[in-house]
Amino acid sequence: MRIWNNTNVPYFILVGLTDSGGIQLVLSLLFLLIYLTTVLGNLGMILIIWLDHQLHTPMYFFLTHLSFLDLCYSNVITPKTLANLLTSSKSISFVGCFTQMFFFVLLVATECFLLSSMAYDRYIAICNPLHYPVIMSPRLCRVLLTGSYMVGFMDSIVNNLCISRLHFCKSNIIHHFFCDTSPILVLSCNDTYDVEMMIMFLAGTTFIVSLIIIGMSYVFILSTILKITSTSGKQKAFSTCASHLLGVTVFYGSMIFTYLKPKKSYSLGKDQVASVFYTIVIPMLNPLIYSLRNKEVKNAFIRVMQKKESFRRLK
Protein backbone atom coordinates (compact mmCIF):
# COMPACT_ATOMS: atom_id res chain seq x y z
CA MET A 1 0.00 0.00 0.00
CA ARG A 2 1.30 3.45 -0.95
CA ILE A 3 0.37 6.67 0.82
CA TRP A 4 0.09 10.03 -0.94
CA ASN A 5 0.21 13.29 1.01
CA ASN A 6 -1.89 16.34 0.10
CA THR A 7 -2.73 15.16 -3.41
CA ASN A 8 -5.08 12.79 -5.19
CA VAL A 9 -3.89 9.31 -5.99
CA PRO A 10 -2.99 8.77 -9.69
CA TYR A 11 -4.68 5.38 -9.81
CA PHE A 12 -6.59 2.90 -7.65
CA ILE A 13 -6.07 -0.78 -6.93
CA LEU A 14 -9.19 -2.96 -7.03
CA VAL A 15 -8.64 -5.73 -4.49
CA GLY A 16 -11.34 -7.86 -6.07
CA LEU A 17 -13.26 -10.77 -4.62
CA THR A 18 -10.50 -13.14 -3.51
CA ASP A 19 -6.71 -13.63 -3.40
CA SER A 20 -6.88 -17.35 -4.13
CA GLY A 21 -5.69 -18.21 -7.65
CA GLY A 22 -7.93 -21.27 -7.85
CA ILE A 23 -11.04 -19.38 -6.81
CA GLN A 24 -10.18 -16.54 -9.19
CA LEU A 25 -10.05 -19.01 -12.09
CA VAL A 26 -13.41 -20.51 -11.15
CA LEU A 27 -14.98 -17.06 -10.75
CA SER A 28 -13.55 -15.86 -14.06
CA LEU A 29 -15.05 -18.84 -15.90
CA LEU A 30 -18.39 -18.38 -14.12
CA PHE A 31 -18.50 -14.63 -14.76
CA LEU A 32 -17.51 -15.14 -18.41
CA LEU A 33 -20.40 -17.59 -18.86
CA ILE A 34 -22.79 -15.17 -17.14
CA TYR A 35 -21.49 -12.27 -19.25
CA LEU A 36 -21.95 -14.13 -22.54
CA THR A 37 -25.45 -15.21 -21.47
CA THR A 38 -26.26 -11.61 -20.51
CA VAL A 39 -25.09 -10.20 -23.85
CA LEU A 40 -26.84 -12.87 -25.93
CA GLY A 41 -30.02 -12.76 -23.82
CA ASN A 42 -30.45 -8.99 -23.90
CA LEU A 43 -29.45 -8.64 -27.55
CA GLY A 44 -31.85 -11.46 -28.38
CA MET A 45 -34.66 -9.73 -26.50
CA ILE A 46 -34.01 -6.45 -28.32
CA LEU A 47 -33.89 -8.16 -31.74
CA ILE A 48 -37.06 -10.21 -31.18
CA ILE A 49 -39.04 -7.12 -30.13
CA TRP A 50 -37.63 -5.10 -33.02
CA LEU A 51 -38.31 -7.78 -35.66
CA ASP A 52 -41.81 -8.76 -34.50
CA HIS A 53 -44.37 -6.01 -35.15
CA GLN A 54 -46.90 -7.55 -32.78
CA LEU A 55 -44.57 -6.60 -29.92
CA HIS A 56 -44.43 -2.93 -30.90
CA THR A 57 -46.46 -1.88 -27.86
CA PRO A 58 -45.62 0.38 -24.87
CA MET A 59 -44.86 -2.61 -22.63
CA TYR A 60 -42.25 -4.00 -25.00
CA PHE A 61 -40.97 -0.52 -25.83
CA PHE A 62 -39.93 -0.21 -22.18
CA LEU A 63 -38.71 -3.80 -22.10
CA THR A 64 -36.42 -3.08 -25.06
CA HIS A 65 -34.80 -0.24 -23.17
CA LEU A 66 -34.57 -2.35 -20.01
CA SER A 67 -32.59 -4.90 -22.01
CA PHE A 68 -30.44 -2.09 -23.41
CA LEU A 69 -29.72 -0.80 -19.88
CA ASP A 70 -28.84 -4.30 -18.66
CA LEU A 71 -26.53 -4.75 -21.64
CA CYS A 72 -24.73 -1.47 -20.87
CA TYR A 73 -24.82 -2.23 -17.14
CA SER A 74 -23.02 -5.51 -17.66
CA ASN A 75 -20.40 -3.96 -19.96
CA VAL A 76 -19.57 -1.28 -17.39
CA ILE A 77 -18.68 -3.79 -14.66
CA THR A 78 -18.03 -7.32 -15.91
CA PRO A 79 -15.17 -6.88 -18.47
CA LYS A 80 -12.98 -5.02 -15.95
CA THR A 81 -13.83 -7.59 -13.27
CA LEU A 82 -12.81 -10.42 -15.62
CA ALA A 83 -9.58 -8.62 -16.50
CA ASN A 84 -8.72 -8.23 -12.80
CA LEU A 85 -9.45 -11.91 -12.13
CA LEU A 86 -7.32 -13.12 -15.06
CA THR A 87 -4.33 -10.78 -14.72
CA SER A 88 -2.00 -9.73 -11.93
CA SER A 89 -2.59 -6.03 -12.66
CA LYS A 90 -5.64 -4.83 -10.74
CA SER A 91 -5.11 -1.10 -11.19
CA ILE A 92 -7.60 1.35 -12.63
CA SER A 93 -6.83 4.98 -13.41
CA PHE A 94 -8.39 7.79 -11.43
CA VAL A 95 -10.36 8.90 -14.51
CA GLY A 96 -11.27 5.30 -15.37
CA CYS A 97 -12.58 4.69 -11.86
CA PHE A 98 -14.78 7.79 -11.88
CA THR A 99 -15.99 7.00 -15.40
CA GLN A 100 -17.05 3.52 -14.27
CA MET A 101 -18.81 4.99 -11.24
CA PHE A 102 -20.54 7.63 -13.41
CA PHE A 103 -22.06 5.08 -15.78
CA PHE A 104 -22.90 2.71 -12.92
CA VAL A 105 -24.96 5.36 -11.10
CA LEU A 106 -26.47 6.59 -14.38
CA LEU A 107 -27.70 3.12 -15.37
CA VAL A 108 -28.95 2.16 -11.91
CA ALA A 109 -30.96 5.37 -11.42
CA THR A 110 -32.34 5.17 -14.96
CA GLU A 111 -33.41 1.56 -14.44
CA CYS A 112 -35.25 2.52 -11.25
CA PHE A 113 -37.51 4.95 -13.08
CA LEU A 114 -37.79 2.73 -16.13
CA LEU A 115 -39.18 0.01 -13.86
CA SER A 116 -41.59 2.64 -12.47
CA SER A 117 -42.70 3.51 -16.01
CA MET A 118 -43.30 -0.19 -16.69
CA ALA A 119 -45.40 -0.43 -13.50
CA TYR A 120 -47.46 2.58 -14.60
CA ASP A 121 -47.93 0.95 -18.01
CA ARG A 122 -49.26 -2.22 -16.34
CA TYR A 123 -51.56 -0.11 -14.13
CA ILE A 124 -53.14 1.57 -17.18
CA ALA A 125 -53.40 -1.74 -19.06
CA ILE A 126 -55.28 -3.46 -16.23
CA CYS A 127 -57.19 -0.62 -14.56
CA ASN A 128 -58.05 1.41 -17.69
CA PRO A 129 -57.91 -1.08 -20.57
CA LEU A 130 -60.35 0.83 -22.81
CA HIS A 131 -58.29 4.02 -22.61
CA TYR A 132 -54.91 2.25 -22.75
CA PRO A 133 -54.06 3.06 -26.41
CA VAL A 134 -54.92 6.73 -25.85
CA ILE A 135 -53.16 7.20 -22.50
CA MET A 136 -50.04 5.19 -23.31
CA SER A 137 -49.38 7.05 -26.53
CA PRO A 138 -45.97 6.94 -28.23
CA ARG A 139 -45.39 10.50 -27.06
CA LEU A 140 -46.01 9.64 -23.39
CA CYS A 141 -43.74 6.59 -23.68
CA ARG A 142 -40.94 8.77 -25.04
CA VAL A 143 -41.50 11.34 -22.28
CA LEU A 144 -41.32 8.66 -19.56
CA LEU A 145 -38.19 7.17 -21.12
CA THR A 146 -36.49 10.55 -21.51
CA GLY A 147 -37.39 11.45 -17.95
CA SER A 148 -35.83 8.22 -16.68
CA TYR A 149 -32.56 8.95 -18.47
CA MET A 150 -32.56 12.58 -17.28
CA VAL A 151 -32.98 11.54 -13.64
CA GLY A 152 -30.19 8.99 -14.00
CA PHE A 153 -27.91 11.57 -15.64
CA MET A 154 -28.52 14.20 -12.94
CA ASP A 155 -27.97 11.68 -10.13
CA SER A 156 -24.74 10.53 -11.73
CA ILE A 157 -23.40 14.05 -12.34
CA VAL A 158 -24.08 15.18 -8.75
CA ASN A 159 -22.66 11.93 -7.33
CA ASN A 160 -19.40 12.26 -9.26
CA LEU A 161 -19.02 15.98 -8.60
CA CYS A 162 -19.43 15.47 -4.85
CA ILE A 163 -16.89 12.64 -4.65
CA SER A 164 -14.38 14.19 -7.09
CA ARG A 165 -14.01 17.22 -4.79
CA LEU A 166 -12.58 14.98 -2.07
CA HIS A 167 -8.88 14.25 -1.66
CA PHE A 168 -7.70 10.64 -1.65
CA CYS A 169 -4.33 10.81 0.04
CA LYS A 170 -4.55 7.95 2.55
CA SER A 171 -4.50 4.93 0.29
CA ASN A 172 -5.28 3.87 -3.26
CA ILE A 173 -6.60 0.40 -2.42
CA ILE A 174 -10.33 -0.10 -3.05
CA HIS A 175 -11.63 -3.11 -1.15
CA HIS A 176 -14.14 -3.99 -3.83
CA PHE A 177 -14.19 -5.36 -7.38
CA PHE A 178 -15.45 -2.15 -9.01
CA CYS A 179 -15.54 1.58 -8.28
CA ASP A 180 -18.56 2.02 -6.04
CA THR A 181 -19.24 5.00 -3.79
CA SER A 182 -18.99 3.42 -0.32
CA PRO A 183 -15.52 1.81 -0.65
CA ILE A 184 -14.20 4.97 -2.37
CA LEU A 185 -15.46 7.27 0.40
CA VAL A 186 -13.51 5.18 2.91
CA LEU A 187 -10.26 6.23 1.20
CA SER A 188 -10.83 9.97 1.49
CA CYS A 189 -8.72 12.00 3.90
CA ASN A 190 -11.51 14.63 4.10
CA ASP A 191 -14.56 14.64 6.30
CA THR A 192 -17.08 12.86 4.08
CA TYR A 193 -20.20 13.39 6.20
CA ASP A 194 -21.74 16.07 3.94
CA VAL A 195 -20.90 14.12 0.78
CA GLU A 196 -22.25 10.92 2.26
CA MET A 197 -25.51 12.61 3.26
CA MET A 198 -25.88 14.11 -0.22
CA ILE A 199 -25.31 10.73 -1.89
CA MET A 200 -27.72 9.02 0.50
CA PHE A 201 -30.30 11.74 -0.20
CA LEU A 202 -29.98 11.25 -3.96
CA ALA A 203 -30.04 7.45 -3.74
CA GLY A 204 -32.85 7.49 -1.19
CA THR A 205 -34.97 9.90 -3.21
CA THR A 206 -34.47 7.90 -6.40
CA PHE A 207 -35.29 4.58 -4.78
CA ILE A 208 -38.16 5.79 -2.61
CA VAL A 209 -39.94 7.83 -5.30
CA SER A 210 -39.65 5.01 -7.84
CA LEU A 211 -40.78 2.46 -5.24
CA ILE A 212 -43.78 4.63 -4.30
CA ILE A 213 -44.81 4.78 -7.97
CA ILE A 214 -44.43 1.02 -8.31
CA GLY A 215 -46.17 0.34 -4.99
CA MET A 216 -49.15 2.59 -5.74
CA SER A 217 -49.48 1.10 -9.23
CA TYR A 218 -49.65 -2.42 -7.83
CA VAL A 219 -52.09 -1.44 -5.08
CA PHE A 220 -54.54 -0.26 -7.74
CA ILE A 221 -53.73 -3.28 -9.91
CA LEU A 222 -54.41 -5.70 -7.06
CA SER A 223 -57.64 -3.89 -6.17
CA THR A 224 -58.81 -4.19 -9.79
CA ILE A 225 -57.80 -7.85 -10.10
CA LEU A 226 -59.70 -8.78 -6.93
CA LYS A 227 -62.86 -7.33 -8.48
CA ILE A 228 -62.59 -9.65 -11.49
CA THR A 229 -65.10 -12.48 -11.10
CA SER A 230 -63.68 -15.08 -13.48
CA THR A 231 -60.69 -17.17 -12.45
CA SER A 232 -59.23 -17.10 -15.95
CA GLY A 233 -59.49 -13.30 -15.99
CA LYS A 234 -57.61 -13.04 -12.70
CA GLN A 235 -54.91 -15.42 -13.91
CA LYS A 236 -54.46 -13.46 -17.15
CA ALA A 237 -54.19 -10.17 -15.25
CA PHE A 238 -51.68 -11.63 -12.79
CA SER A 239 -49.60 -13.12 -15.60
CA THR A 240 -49.15 -9.70 -17.23
CA CYS A 241 -47.57 -8.39 -14.01
CA ALA A 242 -45.71 -11.44 -12.68
CA SER A 243 -42.50 -10.96 -14.67
CA HIS A 244 -42.23 -7.27 -13.88
CA LEU A 245 -42.99 -7.77 -10.20
CA LEU A 246 -40.35 -10.52 -9.94
CA GLY A 247 -37.78 -8.31 -11.69
CA VAL A 248 -38.58 -5.39 -9.38
CA THR A 249 -38.24 -7.57 -6.26
CA VAL A 250 -34.87 -8.96 -7.29
CA PHE A 251 -33.46 -5.59 -8.37
CA TYR A 252 -34.62 -3.46 -5.44
CA GLY A 253 -33.97 -6.14 -2.83
CA SER A 254 -30.26 -6.38 -3.61
CA MET A 255 -29.82 -2.64 -4.22
CA ILE A 256 -31.44 -1.56 -0.95
CA PHE A 257 -29.39 -4.10 1.03
CA THR A 258 -26.16 -2.65 -0.37
CA TYR A 259 -26.73 1.01 -1.15
CA LEU A 260 -29.15 2.59 1.32
CA LYS A 261 -27.02 2.60 4.44
CA PRO A 262 -24.30 4.77 6.01
CA LYS A 263 -20.63 4.29 5.22
CA LYS A 264 -19.92 3.05 8.76
CA SER A 265 -22.12 0.00 8.21
CA TYR A 266 -20.20 -1.02 5.08
CA SER A 267 -19.31 -4.72 5.29
CA LEU A 268 -16.83 -6.02 2.71
CA GLY A 269 -17.97 -9.64 2.51
CA LYS A 270 -21.74 -9.14 2.57
CA ASP A 271 -21.69 -6.13 0.27
CA GLN A 272 -19.48 -7.86 -2.28
CA VAL A 273 -21.86 -10.82 -2.51
CA ALA A 274 -24.84 -8.50 -2.96
CA SER A 275 -22.87 -6.39 -5.45
CA VAL A 276 -22.01 -9.44 -7.56
CA PHE A 277 -25.69 -10.27 -7.65
CA TYR A 278 -26.99 -6.88 -8.80
CA THR A 279 -24.10 -5.93 -11.10
CA ILE A 280 -23.37 -9.27 -12.81
CA VAL A 281 -26.24 -11.71 -12.19
CA ILE A 282 -29.37 -9.51 -12.48
CA PRO A 283 -28.56 -8.25 -16.02
CA MET A 284 -28.53 -11.93 -17.01
CA LEU A 285 -31.74 -12.78 -15.15
CA ASN A 286 -33.96 -10.02 -16.58
CA PRO A 287 -34.18 -11.39 -20.16
CA LEU A 288 -34.81 -14.86 -18.71
CA ILE A 289 -37.54 -13.55 -16.38
CA TYR A 290 -39.31 -11.58 -19.11
CA SER A 291 -39.02 -14.26 -21.78
CA LEU A 292 -39.55 -17.55 -19.95
CA ARG A 293 -42.64 -16.24 -18.16
CA ASN A 294 -44.07 -14.44 -21.19
CA LYS A 295 -46.04 -16.32 -23.86
CA GLU A 296 -46.02 -13.34 -26.22
CA VAL A 297 -42.20 -13.27 -26.29
CA LYS A 298 -42.08 -17.04 -26.84
CA ASN A 299 -44.59 -16.82 -29.68
CA ALA A 300 -42.70 -13.88 -31.18
CA PHE A 301 -39.48 -15.90 -31.09
CA ILE A 302 -41.23 -18.74 -32.93
CA ARG A 303 -42.60 -16.32 -35.53
CA VAL A 304 -39.15 -14.78 -36.08
CA MET A 305 -37.60 -18.23 -36.51
CA GLN A 306 -40.34 -19.25 -38.95
CA LYS A 307 -39.79 -16.09 -41.01
CA LYS A 308 -36.06 -16.76 -41.02
CA GLU A 309 -36.62 -20.34 -42.19
CA SER A 310 -39.05 -19.21 -44.90
CA PHE A 311 -36.57 -16.61 -46.12
CA ARG A 312 -33.80 -19.22 -46.21
CA ARG A 313 -35.93 -21.57 -48.30
CA LEU A 314 -36.80 -18.79 -50.76
CA LYS A 315 -33.10 -18.14 -51.30
Q: Is residue 6 part of a domain?
A: no
Apex 60 CA angle, 121 and 108, nearest 5: 75
HSE at residue 117, side-chain half, CA atoms within 13 A, is: 28
Residues 102 and 150: beta-carbon distance below 8 Å: no
Given a contact cutoff of 8 angstroms between Cβ atoms, the answer to whether 44 and 287 are in contact is yes
pLDDT band at residue 228, thresholds of 50, 70 and 90? Answer: confident
In this structure, is residue 200 part of a structural domain?
yes
Instruction: Note whether residue 164 is domain-resident.
Output: yes
Instruction: Note the pLDDT tens digit of each residue in 233-292.
Output: 777 777 778 888 888 888 888 777 766 555 455 555 566 777 888 888 889 988 888 876
Question: The domain spanning residue 129 has which CATH number?
Answer: 1.20.1070.10
Residue 2 domain flag: no
How far apart, in whole angstroms, are the C-alpha atoms of residue 75 and residue 192? 30
Q: Assess if residue 1 is contained within a domain.
A: no
CA-CA-CA-CA torsion sign (278, 283, 285, 286): positive
> 240 and 126 in contact (C-beta within 8 Å)?
yes
- The 8-class DSSP code of residue 187 comes to T
**Is 3 a member of any domain?**
no
The verdict on residue 81 lying in a domain is: yes
Torsion angle, CA of 106/108/111/116, rounded to 10 degrees?
Answer: -110
Distance CA 7, CA 21 (A): 34
Count up the domains in the chain and report the number: 1
239 domain residue, yes or no: yes
Q: Which domain holds residue 86?
A: 11-310
The pTM (predicted TM-score) of the whole model is 0.88
